[in-house]
Amino acid sequence: MAREKMKVASMTKEEQAAYRRHLDDAVIMRDVITTAWEESRFMGHAEGHAEGLAEGLAEGRAETARKMKADNMPVELISKYTGLMAEEIEQL
């Protein structure tokens, strides 16, 4: 660190200003990269959550339809309450 201070002290005022701009740019770039990483991580988490929720809802509908079918409910009624197509219900 002391060596760095000596190097900066031996620079002209223009070189010192350019060096400080360089350091500022490096800090800004680090912040941009960190922010982008955090945003992409958040988006990945949100996408994973949405996918998991959709899968869970689909499984829940199928399970409900299976139970309704086991109770001999009409396919039309099962479809009405689960949102599944008649073909999907018949395959259960």
78 in any annotated domain:
yes
Range of the domain at 87: 11-91
Report the C-alpha gap between 70 and 33 in whole angstroms. 55
Check whether 5 has a pLDDT greater than 70: no
Convert the pLDDT of each residue in 17-34 to its tens digit: 999 999 999 999 999 999
6 in any annotated domain:
no
Check whether 9 has a pLDDT greater than 90: no
- For residue 2, what pLDDT is reported? 65
Residues 81 and 64: beta-carbon distance below 8 Å = yes
Convert the pLDDT of each residue in 51-78 to its tens digit: 999 999 999 999 999 999 999 999 999 9
Report the C-alpha gap between 11 and 51 in whole angstroms. 57
Q: What's the pTM value of the predicted model, to 2 decimals? A: 0.54
Q: What is the residue-averaged pLDDT of the chain?
A: 90
- For residue 92, what pLDDT is reported? 87
- Domains: count for the chain: 1
Q: Which of 83, 80, 78 is nearest to 65 (CA)?
A: 78
- For residue 8, what pLDDT is reported? 80
19 in any annotated domain:
yes
87 in any annotated domain:
yes
